[in-house]
Amino acid sequence: MAGLYDFNGQYTSPTFTAHPKIDPDNGELITMGYEARGDVTNDVAYYLFDKNGKKLEECWFKTPYVGMMHDMAATKNWIIFILPPLEARSLDDIKKGEKHFAWSEKQHLMFGILPRRNPKPEDIRWFQADNAFYGHTGNAFEGDDGCIYLDAPLTYHNKVSDPGLSITRGPVSNLYLFLVLVLSSRWGGRLHPFQRQAPSRRQTREPLRPLEV
């Protein structure tokens, strides 16, 4: 079968992530679409389907800015949305033939956390890290300590070497780190994330700043 597939009319976002996730325990499909109400819109649509293609969850929410949300992550109870500072250009620039996305040194790497089941738009919580490029998720899981752990290769500052894809020219880092995002509700019910370098390098433990949007 060739062509577009919308889960028999259940999927209404015009976009679909490059990296949906399949739960190995129950076969559920976890997916999302960004720029879900058209080009350069900050709308994201989250979907959860059972192994037979029946829609279980749908939740639309807003992002702090419009960026290339290439990948995502999922645990038993949470969905992690990654918003890197590959920022969308204006519609006017795109219509003139400019690239759709361009690196911005002014934006933060953002993480959005949403309950996997029964989510509501007001449930999304955003956290900001330093300016960095996040491409693909390695793994995500919930620890016995009540935290969410997210492992991924990370490049600080501008990874993009093509001047046509860069708004501002910052130092290009070729150093890949592993991000361990620890989100905990143990402190007064607030999610509390940290960033840590790979074990092969000097370890740091820096709190990320929650952002209310």
Burial readout 119-156 (b: 16 or more C-beta within 10 A, e: otherwise): beeeebbbbbbebbbbbebeebeeeeeebbbbbbebbb
**What's the pLDDT at 134?**
85
Residue 23 tokens read as 């739960």
- Residue bearing tokens 């597939």: 5
More confident residue, 177 or 117: 117
**What's the pLDDT at 71?**
96
**What's the pLDDT at 105?**
87
Mean pLDDT of 34-43: 97
- Is residue 2 very low, low, confident or very high in pLDDT (cuts 50, 70, 90)? low
Is the confidence at residue 191, as pLDDT, over 80? no
**What's the pLDDT at 38?**
95
Radius of gyration of the chain (CA): 17
- CA dihedral for 65, 67, 30, 156, sign (positive or negative): negative
Asked if residue 213 lies in contact with residue 62, where contact means CB atoms within 8 angstroms, the answer is: yes
Average of per-residue pLDDT values in the chain: 79
| Cross-strand partners of 190 | 187
**What's the pLDDT at 147?**
76
Mean pLDDT of 66-78: 95
**What's the pLDDT at 153?**
76
pTM for the model stands at: 0.80
Instruction: Give the percent of the chain with pLDDT over 70.
Output: 72
21, 32, 38, 46, 101 from 8: Cα distances, Å: 19, 16, 21, 17, 31
Q: How far apart are CA 79 and CA 74, in angstroms?
A: 4
Dump pLDDT digits (tens) for 101-150. Answer: 988 989 999 999 999 999 999 999 988 888 888 888 888 888 787 777 88
Dump pLDDT digits (tens) for 45-66. Answer: 999 999 999 999 999 999 999 9
20, 133, 209 from 178: Cα distances, Å: 21, 12, 19
